[in-house]
Amino acid sequence: MSQLVDEAIKSVTSEPVKYSSKDFQSDQDVRWCPGCGDYSILAQTQRILPDLGVPRHKMVFVSGIGCSSRFPYYMKTYGFHSIHGRATAIASGLKLARPDLTVWVVTGDGDGMSIGGNHFIHLLRRNIDIKVLLFNNQIYGLTKGQYSPTSEKGKITKSTPFGSLDYPFNPAALALGSSASFVARTLDRDPKHMQAVLKRAAEHKGTSFVEIYQNCNVFNDGAFFRFTEKDTKDDNVVFIEHGKPLVFGKEHNKGIRLNGFTPEVVSLADGKYSVNDLLVHNETDTTLSFILADMTYKSHLPRPVGIFLANDRPCYDEEMTKQIETARQKRGDGDMKKLLNSGETWVIN
């Protein structure tokens, strides 16, 4: 903590500090289960932060409850380990009170989609300049393996011994439906892709939402292996990039075209279709982003990974600051003592 204070003092009178990834590693022992995907997410986040040009004393990581929520302890920045589902609410208040800070939220599919679901959707619609990382392992890991809001239908767990009857949330579609301005998905076992997505999210002005497929090797091992492992990844994942056609497959011989508004897989090997017939991704197209997000649970379609949507629109925190300044110009500075003693007041002896 003292180092962060020293950096804050020096930043006023000297050149900005240049960081390496090690500068963002705290002195706390990282305690997740060996092999957990959280290690990769932590490492990739620490690798991209030096490139942002933001001093450590201007960064805050806020978490809720869950395995992912240990994150602030391992970051050599300011941090707040808050309460279950309320990380987005606390981060919102922090950003509104201190708009000069770069605020990140780290949450899980249980913490963010269940008890925190209401806070989550309102953060996105307001478009407060906060970066949200959702670790999705489709299970409650910290509380030992109950089904979560993203668990597949029929999931057998300690809390659903006969199989879950719930249809799972689609985090990307939920974010889009909440009017998010930046929505992306990446994989814990693809470090380079994750770094690129995290950097784009960090640079976005407004609420950035990144869903990260994260393997819980104790309570839900292999939930995403079809999309992350070398033998199956190429035929089951389509990487979406702005301005590029949707091509996938080990031989790059398959693609996605739109039949009306319905995506379908076509072969590029038989000559019937070419790259020119394929869907070209446009990350500013809201309608297209919904179509791609809806591919998520369609077993006959590859899983989209990348940036679904990146649009610019006014940030709530900036609009609030403008509103306050306008009111101040019209009415002058407020007087708290006068406000508290105005109207009907009485004294109790």
Does any domain span residue 107? yes
Tokens standing for residue 54: 């933001």
**Is the residue at 62 inside a domain?**
yes
Q: Is 81 helix (H, G, I), strand (E, B) or coil?
A: strand
Domain that holds residue 141: 20-230
- Nearest CA-CA partner of 95 in 276, 294, 319, 313: 319
CB 125 within 8 A of CB 119: no
Percentage of the chain modeled with pLDDT above 90: 90
Contacts of 217 (CB under 8 A, 6+ apart): 33, 35, 36, 37
Residue 188's CATH number: 3.40.50.970
Contact 269, 262 (CB under 8 A): no
What is the spatial distance between Cα 272 and Cα 304, in angstroms, rounded to a whole number? 24
Per-residue confidence (pLDDT) for residue 2, from 0 to 100: 61
d(CA 291, CA 155): 26
Provide the number of structural domains found in the chain: 1
Count of H-run helices and E-run strands, the chain: 12, 11
- Helix segments in the chain, DSSP class H: 2-13, 38-48, 87-97, 109-110, 117-126, 171-177, 191-203, 225-228, 230-236, 286-293, 316-331, 336-340
Amino acid 7: pLDDT: 65
Are the C-beta atoms of residues 90 and 78 closer than 8 Å to each other? no
The tokens for 306 are 């990348």
User: Which residues of the chain, if any, have pLDDT below 70?
Assistant: 1-2, 5-15
Instruction: List, in order, residues 6 or more apart from 224 with CB less than 8 Å away.
Output: 187, 213, 214, 215
What SS3 string covers 90-121? HHHHHHHHCCCCEEEEEEEHHHHHHHCHHHHH
Considering the domain boundaries, does residue 92 fall inside one? Answer: yes
Tell me whether residue 183 is in a domain. yes
Residue 14, pLDDT score: 62
Is residue 196 a part of any domain in this protein?
yes
- Selection from 10, 104, 105 nearest residue 55 by Cα: 10
Question: d(Cα 277, Cα 267) in Å, to the nearest integer?
Answer: 11
Give per-residue pLDDT as tens, 296-329: 999 999 999 999 999 999 999 999 999 999 999 9
pLDDT of residue 11: 63
Query: Of 6, 79, 12, 93, which is closest to residue 45 (Cα–Cα)?
Result: 79
Distance CA 302, CA 263 (A): 10
Which residue in this structure is represented by tokens 């939220």? 105
Q: Residue 346: inside a domain, yes or no?
A: no
Q: Give the pair of three-digit tokens for residue 112.
A: 């963010």
Residue 221 lies in a domain: yes
pLDDT by residue (tens digit) across 217-271?
999 999 999 999 999 999 999 999 999 999 999 999 999 999 999 999 999 999 9
Alpha carbon distance 240, 84 (integer Å) = 33
Query: Could you tell me the pTM of the whole model?
Result: 0.93
